[in-house]
C-alpha cells in the first residue's frame, strides 16, 4: 500500500506518465465479525439427526463435519478418489485453483460412506440419474437435517466447515495443522476462526475496564484472564 501511494503521489505531483503499481491487487482485511459455528452439543445433535436421513445425506453430513472440506469439494468427489490404505482410508479432494489435498476419513464417516461405494467409479454423491449431486440440492438436504436437530441459528453447509476449524483450534490443534487440513492458502484465514473462541475476559476492552475500576497502583493489570464481580459487571 505504501509503495502504491508513493507512485500515486509521483503521478499527481511530478506528472509521472502512470503508476507501475496501479495493477497490484491489495488483499482486503477479513471481516472482524464473529464467524458462526456450531457448538459441540449442536454438532452432536446434527450428526444424530443425520443418521435418521437417507444414506447419501448421512454420509455427506458426516464427511463435512469430520473433515472440514467445502461442499463444492464433496460434491465434485468421485469414488475412485478414495484410497483405502492399510492404516486408514483417505479422500483426495480438489480444492480452489485445482489444487488437490488428502483428508483422512473418520471411522464413523467411513462406515456411513459404505452404502455409496457399490460401484468402482462415478460421483461419490450421485443423484438417481448418476449425475453428481449439486451444491444447492446438497444444501437443502443438510439444512433439513439441521432443522430436524432443532438448530435454531442460521445454517448452511459452510457452517460445518466453520465448526470443524473452530473446534480444531479449540481443542489445541496447531494453527499450521488446521490451515493444512482446511486447505487455507493464507494463515490469516485460519486465524479468523480464533475470534469465535475469544472469551470475554481475554478481550483487551475487558482489561481496560479492570484498570479503570481498580485503584491505580502504578502497575498495569496482571496478565491472564480476569473476572469481574457481579457488581462490577452490572455497573
Same domain, yes or no, for 128 and 64?
yes
CA distances from 182 to 5, 135, 187 (A): 35, 19, 10
The reply to whether 131 and 207 lie within a common domain is yes
What is the domain range of residue 124?
A: 40-213
Which of 173, 181, 153, 8 minimizes the C-alpha distance to 95? 181
Burial (CB count <10 Å: 0-12, 13-18, 19+), residue 92:
middle
Specify the number of domains making up the chain.
Answer: 2
Q: Tens digits of per-residue pLDDT, 121-159?
A: 999 999 999 999 999 999 999 999 999 999 988 899 999
Question: Is position 230 within any domain?
Answer: no
Q: What is the pLDDT of residues 94-127, one digit of tens each?
A: 887 777 888 889 899 999 999 999 988 999 999 9
The CATH number assigned to the domain holding 182 equals 1.10.443.10
137 with 164, same domain: the answer is yes
Residue 188: inside a domain, yes or no? yes
Q: DSSP character for 177?
A: H
Task: Let me know whether 68 and 7 are in one domain.
Answer: no
Are 130 and 25 part of one and the same domain?
Answer: no
**In this structure, are residues 132 and 74 in contact, taking their beta carbons and an 8 Å threshold?**
no
Amino acid at each position: 500500500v505504501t509503495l502504491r501511494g508513493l507512485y500515486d503521489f509521483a503521478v499527481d505531483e511530478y506528472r509521472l506518465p502512470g503508476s507501475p503499481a496501479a495493477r497490484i491487487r491489495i488483499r482486503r482485511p477479513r471481516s472482524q465479525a464473529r464467524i458462526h459455528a456450531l457448538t459441540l452439543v449442536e454438532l452432536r445433535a446434527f450428526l444424530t439427526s443425520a443418521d435418521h436421513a437417507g444414506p447419501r445425506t448421512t454420509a455427506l453430513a458426516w464427511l463435512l463435519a469430520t473433515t472440514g472440506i467445502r461442499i463444492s469439494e464433496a460434491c465434485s468427489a468421485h469414488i475412485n478418489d478414495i484410497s483405502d490404505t492399510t492404516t486408514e482410508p483417505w479422500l483426495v479432494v480438489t480444492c480452489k485453483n485445482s489444487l488437490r489435498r488428502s483428508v483422512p476419513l473418520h471411522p464413523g464417516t467411513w462406515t456411513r460412506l459404505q452404502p455409496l461405494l457399490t460401484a468402482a467409479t462415478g460421483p461419490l454423491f450421485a443423484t438417481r440419474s448418476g449425475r453428481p449431486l449439486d451444491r444447492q440440492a446438497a444444501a437443502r438436504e443438510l439444512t433439513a437435517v439441521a432443522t430436524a436437530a432443532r438448530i435454531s441459528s442460521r445454517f448452511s453447509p459452510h457452517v460445518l466447515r466453520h465448526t470443524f476449524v473452530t473446534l480444531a483450534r479449540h481443542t489445541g490443534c496447531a494453527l499450521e495443522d488446521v490451515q493444512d487440513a482446511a486447505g487455507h492458502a493464507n494463515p490469516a484465514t485460519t486465524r479468523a476462526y480464533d475470534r469465535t473462541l475469544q472469551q470475554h475476559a481475554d478481550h483487551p476492552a475487558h482489561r481496560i475496564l479492570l484498570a479503570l475500576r481498580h485503584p491505580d497502583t502504578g502497575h498495569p493489570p496482571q496478565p491472564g484472564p480476569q473476572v469481574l464481580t457481579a457488581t462490577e459487571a452490572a455497573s
